[in-house]
Structure formats: C-alpha cells, structure tokens
C-alpha cells in the first residue's frame, strides 16, 4: 500500500483511517456505560438494516464508521462494559488491542518455524514466562520434554489433550485405523460442555465420557472416579483420560488436582487440567494452592483471554510430554518440507494444534505482560477477587438472598430465597434494564444467578450499583 | 480505560500509542521490500535476544516498539512483501487490518446470537453477499436450509464437513457411541494434508481416507473414485464423504466438481468442495466454470484470508443442509440457555464449529467488501492472474526452464531442466538471497518450483524482478 494502486487503500489514507479507528475505540470505551449491556435488538433487526445486495462500487471509510454506529452498535452485547458480570469475562486491555493491531499489520503465518521464526520463538518464550509467573511445574517448560502453545480456545485445548491421550493409549492405532468405541474418559458432572463435545468430535463418543459425581462444593470425588475406572475395566473398556477442572463454569468449583493426579498416574490415565478462567489467579502466590498437584498432570490450560487482559483468542496449553501431542497431530506433505523442520531443531506449532494456519497471537500476550508487569497483573486480579468477595458479603447479610455455594475467587453464585420462578424473572428484569448483564446456572437443580467480576474496568462503584439494581428489581 | 486506574492503560495513552502503532504499520509497508523476504535468523536466535525472566515491573510502549524492531523484525518472514511468492498467499489490506483493530476494540464473543446479535447477523449477511458475488448455488444461502459461517481455517472447515458427513451416515451413532472404523472417505492424491489429519482427529482413521489417482492435469479421476467406492462397499466399508479440491496446494489442479457431484449424489456420499485459495477467482464470471457443478455439493469453503485481501483468519464455509452440521456439533449446557436459542429463532454459530468462543471476524470481511466493492476485488484478482500468466509465458520461451503443468489462475509450477538437484540448489540460493521467497512441491516425483502471485501489492515490477533473479541464480 506504499502508493495507492488500483483500488487498494494508500498509505496516507491508512494512517488517517487508522487514527480514526483508534479514536473510535477510545471513544467507545469512554461511553461504553451509556449502552445497554445486553443488546436489546430482536432477531433479524441488524440484518434488516443492511443492504440486501453487496456493493458493486467501493465506499468510504467514513461511511463504514457511520454504519458501525448506526447498525452494529445497537446489536452489540458489551463484553467490555464494566457492568458485564455474565458467563466468564473475555476482557481486553490497551496493550492487547494494540498487540492485535500490530499482529494484523505484520500478517504472518506461524504454522512452521520457518514461516516466521519470531512468531514461534516468542510464543515458546512467553509461555515459559507464564509457567514461571503461575508457578507451574518445570515439566511444562520447553527446556525439557514439554512446552506450551497458544490455542484459540480451551475447547480446542481439551480436544488436543484427548487426542494425545488417545494416541498414548492406542499407540497410533486410533489415529491410523480409527476409533473402536472402547476408550473412555472421565470428568465431573460440572465439567465444561466442550469436553463432551470433544469426545464426539474425536470419534470417542460422547457417551464414553463418564460424568463423575461431585461433593457439596461441586468438586469431583476421586473415590467415585476410582470406582468408575474399575467398573469400566471390568466391562472391557479402556480408560485413557481424565479432565480435572480448576474453576468450573457453573460455580468455580475446584477439583482436587493432587488426588486426581496420583490416581491417574497409578491407573495410567492422561490427566488434563482445565483452568480456563481461574488459572489466571495463580499469578498470585496466595491462590496457587487451588491447583496444587499439577506435578502429576499431563496437560494444563488457562485462558489469558478470559481474565488476563488479553484479547480473545488466547488459550495457553501446556503438555509435559510434547511427543504424544505431536504424534497425534503431525503430518508432513512435500509442500511444507524445509531444512529446519527436517533437522528437528525447531518447534512447528501446526503439529501442536488442529489447524494448519495460525496468527501471531504471542505478540499481544507479550505486550500485556510487559505493560502490566507481574505486579500489575497481580494487583488487578486481587482487586477483582476482593470485589467479588465484597459482593458475596452483601448477599450474605441480606435476608432476601442467599449464597448458593461458598464464593471462590471472582465468582458469586447466589439466589433470591423466593425460588426458581422469582430468580428467573429477576434475571430477565435485570438484563432487560440494560444496566448490567448477569447469567444463570443450575446448582443442585435450583436456578442460580452468577455474578462474575473480571471485566478489565470493573471497580467498586460498578459492583455497588449492580447490587443496588439487584435489590431494587427483586420482589419486595 | 476511561481514567487510568491502577496499572491499566488510560484512554489518552491508548490514543497516543494507537497512533504510533498505526504509523509503525504504515512505515512497515513502506519499507517491507528492504527486508529479506525469508527470515535469515538461525533457530534460537530470537529467543536469545529476549530476557529469560518475565518483567516484574511494567514497561513503556516505546520500549516494546523498539523491541519489535530489534528482536522481532529480523525473525519475520514477510508474508506481506510483494516479493512473497511462496505457498499460497495470506494477504492483508488496509480495510482488513482496521477491521481487525475495530473487532479487537469491541472485544465481543459471538458464540451465541444473544452474546452479540450483530456479530452473528453480520456474518450470516456477509456470507450471503459472498454467495452472490461468487455465483454459488442458492442452496448455500441462509434463506433456505443452508447457510454460511466463518471458520478459522480450511482445515477446520474440512473437519466440520467430515463430522457432518459422519453424522449423516451414522445417524448420530458415531457422535454418541464412537466410531467403529468402518466409515471411509475419498480425496485425490493431491488433496490438502489437512483432510488426512482431520480423518485422524475425527476418529475415522487416516488410513480410511482413500487417495484417488489423478489425470495428467493432476485432477481426480471420477471413474477411479467409482471403483474405490465399489471395492469398499464389497469389503463391508461404509463410504460417507468425498472431498473435491478446486485448486490443489501443489499445482492448483481442479477436480471435476460436476462429475464428482453426480457420483456422490448417486452413491449417497457427502461432497465437500475445498476451494481454499482458488475459490476467490469465482468473483470473476470468466473463472466460475472452474467450479461448475456446485449444485450437487453438500459443503463448500474458500478463504478470503488467502487471496481476498482479508486478514487471517477467515475461511467461509457453506453447507446446503445446516441441520446435519448442527446435529454433529450442538451441545447445550444450562449456563448457555437463553430465550432466543430456545425459540429456535436465531443461529448460534458455536453449533457450526469446533470451538465455543468466537471473534467478530465478519467485521473485517464487511469492510473489505465495502472498501473494494465487487469491481475492485475483481480488478485485482484479474491482475494477479495476468501477472502469473505473464511469468508462465517467460518460463515457456526460456530454453533452460519448463512448465511442470499448464498454469492455472495465479500459480505457476515450473522447473529448471537440469533436474531435481539443480532445482533444489536454485531454490536455496533464491531464498537465501532475501530478494524473494518461493517454495516447492513434487509433481510426478519431480522437484518443482511454485510461483504463486497473490500478495496484495505484487505488481509487474516484482514479477519481472523475480524472473530476473531466478534466471541469474540458475546455472548458466
């Protein structure tokens, strides 16, 4: 785009429009609290505002920014509003947004080391940094037999873990000849739905995932897992993998990693630990006990794109033995052969993931860690935990409300004492108000509200106002 | 980031750093031809320039931009150089880069309609636009039983197609109970390696992909496919899927879609058409004949992130019957339930893909189409094809070189007449020079150079200089 040729955007135009886009984003964050957090449009409303036919002639960038305001913004659910308390967060930050911009500008492919060595090496390096920052066992670092890779999502990290476990259990047979329905895997009844989905995708079969019962804190009971493994072996099944969750989606329950690790090691099962959101808390030494026992895990993942100020997508996936993963996923056609790969001197990350192509995602993660420093990251994680615990304290002393489970870290599960119907109506009313966005789950069959503090800019005032809104909207 | 709180980047800082990042990108494109196209660093060199330990304290954005220059740039293989002729392109453009920036700023999740209705509806809409622009059959539009979705890569599009085919062939059995090794699928010997990889991932088994022979133009021979299907049925196997490639990675060979479509329909096989790079050519009516017969295909994909000026990742995946795909991939835990999903009134794109989370990728695609207009896109595609055909004409009249196959669209496969060893050394010399980047393949067992014209800013001068470099580097 050095000189505008043909229909391309010229360099000076790019600068001008780029500044305008940066300004648009800054202005968006300045006014994000003026929008309803949950989009209030009806199905089809956004499409109805778009021209049915594509444009024959090019249009101006100004026209596009106008339509972003007019058509798109009303259809946005504002994940970056400090009043977003739904699901898990998918937070952003200035350095992460600029990291995405720079990566888009460079536009490189990181599928092989040779297709951009810096893309691969920065990724390995930053994942080693994070292993240090989180206090992960040395076996997950690239200096030994393990290492880290950025996946798009924890869904794909789980799928990759299952495939590596499948590979280890069948010695390549399932990859070459196909599955035979005998392998089984385990997770708690509270594990993320993506595990069951991955069982189907991997040809292992959704019904071959055993959902193991939990205790009062919603954590997996290892003795029930041991029983299930025995029963499966007796029935001719082949147990190959267990997934422990550090921070379930429903209630942030923490499965006992140490106990599960010992059991899996004794039984020869691959243990994958899914710490998608809660893993970030391990930046703070005082929260590391929640995932104690990782020494016996075969793989681990957490998502900086949830709670570590790094734009989606960015899931950090670690394996203790990268060779099982690579055996499951490597394939080398002639058109990808190159001297560095043949020499085995480098990581080719396409062998660590489902896809071939890959973006330069390490760049944003590098900028986030450098902008905040370890102290900055710890500061904000601690602050979010304090805010959630403050919210829980208010719930606890209010006679109309109750905590559904003891709040862990930054998630509070609570309910009005009036029963399911009252809570459902309350949630609808709150989300329709646009003042905040909450979602729900069911715990012990009861409809339960979830309040998750993790958006980058959420401060005490937002949590205070949210609680006021909840109390006002509740039946008196 | 309205006011700088704690360690967050404040709004005014974000504007300042954002302008600097935009300027850095503009300057990068202005000087991209001054760098060696293929990175010249040795394994480990990038990491050695990075601090071994993560920073405890935050650093300035200026320091990061300096390291981008000092550490990262020498390790970049410049996919956005107009002298990049390797693999397939992964081109970018001004509007696409700014689309990525705006999407990063909004930071929404498009997993469900409700989590940002505009993210879902703009995607459906723009994919319908593209179906019109490419002249795809109506059955791929969202108004009927089909529709389009943005996948990250053609690898995942193929995986999703296989999963939908598996679902249709087994009525949910393979998804629920696991695969049993009986299903088989078909593609040509020239099909992309991701098909075989996907067979392994899906538990169907890599060996259950039959690689069907090709004709002199490297296109799949339907009569050999018919034979293979007969043989498999006779052996008790269950044929479920065939993949036709429109533009193979090695040589841009075009499988006969119409003939394969009729055969697959008669035999009850799912036909997936992989037009990853070449599909973009269908923007120009004169190239549409290359994929004539799509009326009988069950799914189709092409990658705007290859040759349509849209940043990676952006693969457009269409299905004629979305219900098979959704049955294969849908799962609905309590924490994702919402009224719009329950009413069935909306698309929830997490049911159309492997992952749960998803970025707002439609935004960049929308900006690209609007910036160029259909006429601008057609103009540049035609220009690239002309440039490649010009290069092929020069090869053809040079006594030292020969074409390996007749050049199709924007890819020229050629070789020096001196044999494999000479061509291998020639490629090494050219890539080490930094003046251009070429890759190779093998066609009919012979080492063959590939020259693919598709980088956004490649013009006649670059192709001319590349040809001069190739001739100069060849043994005289």
Each residue of A356-384: pLDDT tens digit?
999 999 999 999 999 999 999 999 999 99
Closest Cα in chain B to A250: B335
pLDDT of residue A293: 97
Helix B362-397 vs helix B94-106: crossing angle, to nearest 10: 150
Contacts of B380 in chain A (CB under 8 A): 6-8
- Cβ atoms of A322 and A145 within 8 Å: the answer is yes
Share of chain A above pLDDT 70, in %: 99
Q: Check whether residue B464 and residue B475 sit in a common domain.
A: yes
Q: Check whether residue B167 and residue B294 sit in a common domain.
A: yes
Instruction: Check whether A456 has a pLDDT greater than 70.
Output: yes
Return the beta strands (E) in A34-159 as ranges.
Answer: 147-151
Residue with tokens 């994000």: A32
Cross-sheet strand order for the sheet of B439-443? B401-403, B411-416, B446-452, B439-443
Closest Cα in chain B to A27: B11
Share of chain B above pLDDT 90, in %: 95
Query: What's the domain count of chain B?
Result: 3
Q: Check whether residue B393 and residue B353 sit in a common domain.
A: no
Q: Is A56 inside a domain boundary? A: no
Residues 6+ positions from B235 with CB-CB distance below 8 Å: none
H runs (alpha helix) in B171-302: 173-177, 193-201, 222-234, 257-267
CA distance B404 to chain A (A): 15
Task: Determine how β-strand A315-319 pairs with β-strand A299-302.
Answer: antiparallel
Q: Check whether residue A344 and residue A420 sit in a common domain.
A: no
Q: Is B99 inside a domain boundary? A: no
Residues facing residue A183 across a β-bridge:
A238
Cross-sheet strand order for the sheet of A183-188? A147-151, A315-319, A299-302, A270-274, A238-245, A183-188, A209-212
Instruction: Check whether A420 has a pLDDT greater than 60.
Output: yes
How do residues B338-383 score in pLDDT, each as one tens digit?
Answer: 888 888 889 999 999 999 999 999 999 999 999 999 999 999 999 9
Q: Is A331 inside a domain boundary? A: yes
Cross-sheet strand order for the sheet of B315-319? B147-151, B315-319, B299-302, B270-274, B238-245, B183-188, B209-212
B250-255 average pLDDT score: 98
Q: Check whether residue A173 and residue A225 sit in a common domain.
A: yes
Q: Is B351 inside a domain boundary? A: yes
Give the number of other CB atoms < 10 A from CB of residue A56: 11
pLDDT of residue B340: 83
Nearest in space to A147 (alpha carbons), one of A164, A159, A166, A172: A164
Q: Is A190 inside a domain boundary? A: yes
A299-312 average pLDDT score: 98
pLDDT of residue B342: 80
Q: Check whether residue B77 and residue B120 sit in a common domain.
A: no
Q: Check whether residue A355 and residue A381 sit in a common domain.
A: no
Q: Is B325 inside a domain boundary? A: yes
Q: Is A51 inside a domain boundary? A: no
A residues 112-151 lying closer than 8 A (beta carbon) to B: 113-119, 121-122, 124-125, 129-130, 132-133
Contacts of A39 in chain B (CB under 8 A): 114, 116-118
Share of chain B above pLDDT 70, in %: 99
SS (H, E, C) B110-167: CCCHHHCHHHHHHHHHHHHHHHHHHCCCHHHCCCCCCEEEEECCHHHHHHHHHHHHHH
pLDDT of residue B476: 80
Give the number of other CB atoms < 10 A from CB of residue B341: 17
Domain harbouring A390, CATH code: 3.90.1150.10
Q: Check whether residue A124 and residue A219 sit in a common domain.
A: yes
- Cβ atoms of B149 and B123 within 8 Å: the answer is yes
Domain harbouring A354, CATH code: 3.40.640.10
Q: Check whether residue B215 and residue B322 sit in a common domain.
A: yes
- What sign results for the dihedral spanned by CA atoms A306, A309, A312, A314? negative
* Average pLDDT for chain A: 97
Q: Give, in order, the Cα–Cα distances in Å from A472 to each of A339, A447, B182, B373.
A: 67, 20, 60, 51
pLDDT of residue A341: 83
pLDDT of residue B78: 98
Q: B359, B393, B417 — which closes off a domain?
A: B359
* Average pLDDT for chain B: 97
pLDDT of residue A344: 80
What interface predicted TM-score (ipTM) does this complex get?
0.97
Instruction: Check whether A73 has a pLDDT greater than 70.
Output: yes
Contacts of A328 in chain B (CB under 8 A): 200
Exposed (0-12), middle (13-18) or buried (19+): which is B90, by Cβ within 10 Å?
A: buried
Q: Check whether residue B289 and residue B384 sit in a common domain.
A: no
Instruction: Check whether B4 has a pLDDT greater than 90.
Output: no
- Cβ atoms of A380 and A387 within 8 Å: the answer is no
- Cβ atoms of B59 and A371 within 8 Å: the answer is yes
* pTM (two decimals): 0.97
Q: Check whether residue A443 and residue A398 sit in a common domain.
A: yes
CA atoms of B183 and B179, how far apart (whole Å): 8
How do residues A188-205 score in pLDDT, each as one tens digit?
Answer: 999 999 999 999 999 999
Q: Check whether residue B321 and residue B381 sit in a common domain.
A: no
Residues facing residue A449 across a β-bridge:
A414, A440
- Cβ atoms of B45 and B75 within 8 Å: the answer is yes
- Cβ atoms of A318 and A275 within 8 Å: the answer is no
Helix B193-201 vs helix A322-329: crossing angle, to nearest 10: 120
pLDDT of residue B3: 62
B212 phi, psi to nearest 5 deg: -90, 140
Helix (H, G, I), strand (E, B) or coil at A448: strand
Q: A334, A359, A384 — which closes off a domain?
A: A359
> A72, A182, A210, A380: best mutation site toward chain B, by most B Cβ within 10 Å?
A72
Dig out the tokens for A336 from the structure: 């990808």
How do residues A229-284 score in pLDDT, each as one tens digit?
Answer: 999 999 999 999 999 999 999 999 999 999 999 999 999 999 999 999 999 999 99
Instruction: Check whether A467 has a pLDDT greater than 80.
Output: yes
Contacts of A59 in chain B (CB under 8 A): 370-371, 373
- Cβ atoms of B284 and B378 within 8 Å: the answer is yes
CB contact under 8 A, A9 and B93: yes
Helix (H, G, I), strand (E, B) or coil at B210: strand
Q: Is A391 inside a domain boundary? A: yes
A residues 337-366 lying closer than 8 A (beta carbon) to B: 337, 340, 345-346, 354-357, 359, 363, 366
Residues facing residue B212 across a β-bridge:
B188
pLDDT of residue A338: 86
CA atoms within 13 A on the CB side of B392: 20
Asked if A413 reaches chain B (Cβ–Cβ under 8 Å), the answer is: no
How do residues A20-29 score in pLDDT, each as one tens digit?
Answer: 999 999 999 9
B60-81 average pLDDT score: 98
- The span from the first CA to the last CA of chain B, in angstroms, equals 63
Instruction: Check whether B333 has a pLDDT greater than 90.
Output: no
pLDDT of residue A332: 84
Confidence at A3, pLDDT banded by 50, 70, 90: low
Residue A1 or residue A69, greater confidence: A69
Confidence at B332, pLDDT banded by 50, 70, 90: confident
Domain interval for residue B307: 108-359
B residues 198-217 lying closer than 8 A (beta carbon) to A: 200-208
pLDDT of residue A2: 52
Residue B334 or residue A41, greater confidence: A41
Q: Cis peptide leading into A339, omega within 30 of 0?
A: no
Q: A324, A359, A394 — which closes off a domain?
A: A359
A residues 272-291 lying closer than 8 A (beta carbon) to B: none
> A62, A201, A240: best mutation site toward chain B, by most B Cβ within 10 Å?
A201
């Amino acid at each position: 785009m050095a000189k505008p040729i043909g229909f391309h955007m010229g360099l000076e135009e790019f600068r001008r429009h780029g500044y305008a886009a940066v300004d648009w984003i800054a202005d968006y964050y300045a006014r994000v609290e003026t929008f309803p957090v949950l989009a209030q449009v009806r199905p089809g409303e956004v499409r109805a505002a778009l021209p049915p036919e594509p444009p024959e002639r090019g249009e101006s960038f100004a026209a596009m920014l106008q339509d972003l305001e007019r058509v798109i913004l009303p259809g946005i659910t504002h994940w970056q509003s400090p009043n977003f308390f739904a699901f898990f967060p998918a937070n952003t930050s200035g350095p992460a947004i600029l990291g995405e911009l720079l990566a888009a500008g460079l536009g490189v492919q990181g599928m092989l080391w040779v297709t951009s060595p810096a893309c691969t090496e920065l990724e390995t390096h930053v994942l080693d940094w994070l292993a240090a920052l989180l206090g992960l066992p040395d076996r997950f670092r690239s200096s030994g037999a393990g290492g880290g890779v950025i996946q798009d999502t924890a869904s794909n990290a789980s799928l990759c873990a299952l495939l590596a476990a499948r590979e280890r259990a069948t010695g390549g047979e399932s990859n070459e000849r196909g599955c035979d329905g005998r392998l089984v895997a385990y997770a708690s009844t509270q594990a993320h739905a993506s595990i069951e989905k991955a069982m189907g995708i991997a040809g292992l079969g959704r019904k071959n995932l055993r959902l193991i019962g939990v205790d009062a804190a919603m954590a997996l009971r290892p003795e029930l897992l041991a029983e299930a493994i025995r029963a499966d072996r007796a029935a001719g099944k082949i147990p190959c993998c267990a997934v422990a969750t550090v921070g379930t989606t429903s209630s942030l329950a923490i499965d006992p990693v140490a106990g599960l690790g010992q059991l899996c090691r004794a039984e020869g099962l691959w243990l994958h630990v899914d710490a998608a959101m809660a893993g970030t808390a391990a930046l703070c030494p005082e929260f590391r006990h929640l995932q104690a026992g990782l020494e016996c895990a075969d793989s681990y993942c957490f998502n900086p794109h949830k709670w570590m100020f790094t734009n989606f997508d960015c899931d950090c996936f670690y394996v203790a033995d990268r060779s099982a993963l690579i055996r499951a996923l490597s394939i080398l056609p002639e058109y990808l052969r190159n001297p560095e790969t043949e020499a085995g001197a480098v990581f080719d990350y396409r062998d660590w993931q489902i896809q071939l192509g890959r973006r330069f995602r390490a760049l944003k993660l590098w900028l986030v860690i450098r902008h905040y420093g370890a102290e900055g990251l710890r500061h904000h994680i601690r602050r979010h935990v304090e805010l959630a615990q403050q919210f829980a304290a208010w719930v606890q002393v209010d006679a109309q409300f109750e905590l559904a489970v003891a709040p862990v870290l930054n998630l509070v599960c609570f309910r009005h004492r009036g029963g399911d119907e009252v809570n459902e109506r309350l949630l609808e009313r709150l989300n329709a108000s646009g003042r905040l966005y909450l979602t729900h789950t069911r715990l012990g069959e009861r409809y339960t509200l979830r309040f998750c503090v993790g958006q980058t800019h959420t401060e005490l005032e937002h949590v205070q106002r949210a609680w006021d809104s909840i109390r006002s909207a509740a039946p008196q």
